[in-house]
Amino acid sequence: MVLKAKRLCKLALGPVLMLLSLASAGALAASSKVNEVNMPPGVTEVGQRIYDLHMLILWICVVIGVLVFGVMFYSIYHHRKSRGVTPATFHESTKVEIAWTVVPFLILIGMAVPATSTLLEIYNTDDAELDVLITGYQWKWKYEYINEDGENVEFFSNLRTPQTEIYNAEAKGEHYLLEVDEPMVIPVDTKVRLLLTANDVIHSWWVPELAVKKDAIPGFINEAWTQASEEGIYRGQCAELCGKDHGFMPVVVNAVSQEEFDSWLADKQAKAAEIRELMAQTFTMDELMERGKAVYERNCLACHGANGEGGVGTAIAGSAIATGPVSGHLNVGINGVPGTAMQAFGGQINDVEMAAVITYQRNAFGNNMGDMVQPIDVYNHKNG
């Protein structure tokens, strides 16, 4: 109840706020994130400098605005016909006109100086201690930690908010639309260089609190950097229209201590090594079925049903594709069916998982194909 009343108050406050001119933007910086009205200074030094620059220019504009609108409203009040005034006839004054050309010019120079130095700082990507390659996909991000010695670590970061929340069947969680299955992790107090590119269309990687926004463009690699000074989870979104689900590809960055980061990375590397080993391995039917069941339950069950009976997706039990040639089945699993809910899983689950789940679908729910798909088959299908 109280909350509701507060909300209503805030709504009523709106029109009043708007009349308070831009000044309110600065003065009303609220503490909570809800109804935030200003740019966050964030947790980086560059972010702080950008924020200061933003406030400086805002206040300069406010002062000029107050002067100009002050004169204007004074005039509107005093120089109206209903007060019986007779209009003056002057229509030029070289002195005044030169003054109001030169003074703004000087003010602009005053703004350009801090703007230039901040820009140079933003462009200085030297001496980074960690490189992360970020690739935009329709509609998710991929992060690759580039390691000269040792295993590269790469993973996709997908929106985690369920469709049921988006379509209002369930209450929305606290981080609605700003949550992912696997966040990017960076160590604090470390200069991290971000290398940005895209796989399909242009995306833009934006986290306000890290003060980074940079376009991810296919065929190009852009550079940016950040250095978080506080541990925490920072949330942002894709900023460049990239198609249907542009609004549903958040960026989440988890800034942790150096130790925590090291152990996270080591963990990831170990897992990556394990998978690489598995990739070369040949599995038995039982192994594939066991792994496949787990993958199916995690990734496919929601749409294809616990017994392959279908639901949002078509039935797998007796399906023509699951009981047809392996290559056709692999094709659907890897590339999805465009224009339907059946996504391309090729980039989302690894080759071992794909081999297992395809084998599983061919041999479960009464499908008795008796054939097996090995990781190497998935690899070959993807690459040729």
Partner 1 sequence: MGDHHHGPAKGLSRWLFTTNHKDIGTMYLWFSFAMFILGGAFAMIIRAELFQPGMQLVEPAFFNQMTTLHGLVMVFGAIMPSFVGLANWMIPMMIGAPDMALPRMNNWSFWILPPAFLILASTLFMEGGAPAFGWTFYAPLSTTYAPPSVTFFIFSIHVLGMSSIMGAINIIATVMNMRAPGMTYMKMPLFVWTWLITAFLLVAVMPVLAGAVTMMLMDIHFGTSFFSAAGGGDPVLFQHVFWFFGHPEVYIIILPAFGVVSQIIPTFARKPLFGYDSMVYATASIAFLSFIVWAHHMYTVGMPVAGELFFMYATMLIAVPTGVKVFNWVTTMWRGAMTFETPMLFCMGFLVLFTIGGFTGLMLSIAPADFQYHDSYFVVAHFHYVMVAGAVFSMSAAVYYWLPKWCGKMYSETMGKTHFWISFIGFNITFFPQHFVGLAGMPRRIPDYALQFADFNMMSSIGAFIYGASQILFLYNVIATIVSGKPTDKEKVWEGAEGLEWTVATPAPYHTFERPPAVR
Residues near ligand HEC (CB under 6 A) are 299-300, 302-304, 312-314, 319-322, 329, 332-333, 337, 340-342, 345, 357, 361
> Sign of the C-alpha dihedral, residues 149, 150, 151, 154?
negative
According to DSSP, the β-strands at 184-187 and 250-256 are: parallel
Nearer to partner 1, 51 or 264 (CB): 51
Based on the shown chain and the rule CB under 8 A, indicate whether residue 247 belongs to the binding site for partner 1: yes
> What's the closest the beta carbon of residue 311 comes to partner 1, in angstroms?
20
> What's the closest the beta carbon of residue 191 comes to partner 1, in angstroms?
17
Buried-exposed string 258-286: b where 16+ CB fall within 10 A, e elsewhere: eeebeebbeebbeebeeeeebbeeebeee
- The site partner of 122 among partner 1, ligand HEC, Cu ion, none (C-beta below 5 to 8 Å per kind) is partner 1
Which position among 1, 2, 3, 18 is part of the footprint of partner 1 (CB under 8 A)? 18
- The one segment of 64-72, 262-270, 330-338, 351-359 that binds partner 1 by CB under 8 A: 64-72
- Give the Cα separation of 263 and 289 in Å (integer): 32
Based on the shown chain and the rule CB under 8 A, indicate whether residue 31 belongs to the binding site for partner 1: no
Which position among 66, 241, 266, 285 is part of the footprint of partner 1 (CB under 8 A)? 241
Based on the shown chain and the rule CB under 8 A, indicate whether residue 204 belongs to the binding site for partner 1: yes
Phi then psi for residue 145, to 5 deg, are: -95, 115
Interface mask toward partner 1 for 137-176; x: CB under 8 A: -x--------------------------xxxx---x-xxx
Q: Which two tokens stand for residue 291?
A: 């792994």
- The site partner of 342 among partner 1, ligand HEC, Cu ion, none (C-beta below 5 to 8 Å per kind) is ligand HEC
Nearer to Cu ion, 121 or 200 (CB): 200
> What's the closest the beta carbon of residue 285 comes to ligand HEC, in angstroms?
18
Site for Cu ion in 203-222 (CB under 5 A): 203
Based on the shown chain and the rule CB under 8 A, indicate whether residue 219 belongs to the binding site for partner 1: yes
Nearer to Cu ion, 205 or 283 (CB): 205
Query: 222: which strand partners?
Result: 196
> What's the closest the beta carbon of residue 109 comes to partner 1, in angstroms?
9
Q: Give the containing element (helix H, strand E) for 194.
A: strand 192-198
**In this structure, which amino acid lies at residue 269?**
Q
Nearest in space to 141 (alpha carbons), one of 153, 156, 154? 156
Interface mask toward Cu ion for 224-253; x: CB under 5 A: --------------x---x---x-------
Based on the shown chain and the rule CB under 8 A, indicate whether residue 45 belongs to the binding site for partner 1: no
Strand order in the sheet with 140-145: 153-157, 140-145, 130-137, 192-198, 222-226
Which position among 27, 45, 66, 116 is part of the footprint of partner 1 (CB under 8 A)? 116
- Give the Cα separation of 384 and 375 in Å (integer): 14
| Tokens 């790469």 sit on residue | 154
Binding residues for partner 1, how many (CB under 8 A)?
105
Nearer to partner 1, 46 or 355 (CB): 46
- The site partner of 275 among Cu ion, partner 1, ligand HEC, none (C-beta below 5 to 8 Å per kind) is none
> What's the closest the beta carbon of residue 383 comes to partner 1, in angstroms?
17
Cis before 264 (ω within 30): no
Whole-angstrom CA distances from 318 to 304, 322, 328, 363 are 12, 7, 15, 10
Which position among 85, 270, 285, 312 is part of the footprint of partner 1 (CB under 8 A)? 85
Whole-angstrom CA distances from 204 to 213, 257, 270, 346 are 7, 27, 31, 23
- Give the Cα separation of 354 and 358 in Å (integer): 6
